[in-house]
């Protein structure tokens, strides 16, 4: 029968072209292996080095920059500039004044119960030893004390508190007549720097 023959031929063609799934994978692998230019390390080639382009900003030449190094100030230059440092700790406020040719002054500002402020100064010599103290006194004046040192740096003479006009300040006060100080204490030391006499 013609119809049966056509169905048989169609069935034969389908059966002849049909292959199991694993057979198709084998054919694909065989075709790849059959190429002449096939290389086993085709996927492991080393990358080419990066070539900068005109649009690559990372490799553009940067303008040359000149850095000028400023010289650090010397100790002499620092001493020429008057400096005022402050430190506030609540009830007390401390100030430090340093100027060329003048003694170093440490100011202490105290907050009183009445709400006012009381400022005293401790003046130091070139070796940062206490040379004079100034604090507020009666009649808008000030009360001062002095300490003098001998050649070895030991305290040799002290003035008891005495009165002077003017408010306390950072400058060293010098008396016109040292004998005007009512109470003076002299200290004597031996060769080892021990105090041996006070008069």
**Which residues lie closer than 8 Å to 99 by C-beta, 6 or more apart?**
82, 83
Question: Where is pLDDT greater, at 118 or 75?
Answer: 118
Nearest to 166 by CA among 198, 144, 145, 193: 144
- d(C-alpha 169, C-alpha 180), whole Å: 21
User: Residue 26, Cβ neighbours under 10 Å: how many?
Assistant: 11
Please name the helix (run of DSSP H) or strand (run of DSSP E) that holds residue 5, with its range, or none.
helix 2-17
Looking at the structure, tell me whether residues 5 and 98 fall in a common domain: no
- Contact predicate 134/143, CB 8 Å: yes
In a domain, 156, yes or no: yes
Residue 21 has pLDDT above 60, yes or no: no
Do 25 and 89 have their domain in common?
no
Q: What residues make up the domain containing 177?
A: 75-198
What's the structural domain count of the chain? 2
Domain annotation covers residue 39: no
Does any domain span residue 180? yes
- Position 159 in a domain: yes
| Residue 53 in domain | no
Q: Which residues of 76-110 are buried (b: 16+ CB within 10 A; e: fewer)?
A: eeeeeeeeeeeeeeeeebebebbbeeebbbbbeee
pLDDT of residue 138: 94
- Predicted confidence at residue 82, as pLDDT, reads 55
Find all residues with CB under 8 Å of 71, minimum gap 6, and list them.
none
Residue 67 lies in a domain: no
* 8-state DSSP, 24: H
Name the DSSP class of 7.
Answer: H
- Residue 172: predicted pLDDT: 94
- 89-117, pLDDT tens digit by residue? 678 899 999 988 889 999 999 988 888 88
| Same domain membership, residue 95 and residue 22 | no
Confidence check: pLDDT of 155 > 70: yes
Most confident range (mean pLDDT) of 53-57, 75-79, 99-103, 163-167 is 163-167
């Amino acid at each position: 029968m013609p119809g049966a023959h056509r169905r048989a031929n169609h069935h034969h063609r389908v059966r002849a072209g049909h292959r199991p799934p694993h057979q198709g994978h084998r054919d694909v692998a065989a075709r790849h292996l059959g190429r002449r230019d096939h290389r086993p390390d085709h996927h492991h080639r080393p990358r080419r080095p990066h070539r900068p382009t005109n649009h690559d900003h990372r490799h553009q030449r940067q303008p040359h920059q000149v850095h000028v190094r400023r010289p650090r100030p010397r100790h002499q230059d620092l001493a020429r500039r008057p400096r005022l440092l402050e430190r506030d700790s609540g009830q007390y406020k401390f100030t430090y004044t340093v100027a060329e040719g003048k003694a170093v002054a440490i100011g202490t500002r105290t907050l009183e119960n009445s709400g006012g402020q009381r400022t005293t100064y401790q003046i130091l010599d070139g070796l940062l030893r206490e040379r004079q103290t100034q604090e507020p006194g009666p009649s808008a004046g000030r009360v001062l004390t002095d300490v003098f040192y001998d050649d070895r740096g030991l305290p040799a003479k002290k003035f008891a508190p005495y009165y002077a006009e003017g408010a306390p300040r950072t400058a060293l006060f010098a008396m016109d007549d040292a004998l005007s100080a009512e109470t003076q204490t002299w200290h004597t030391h031996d060769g080892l720097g021990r105090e041996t006499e006070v008069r």
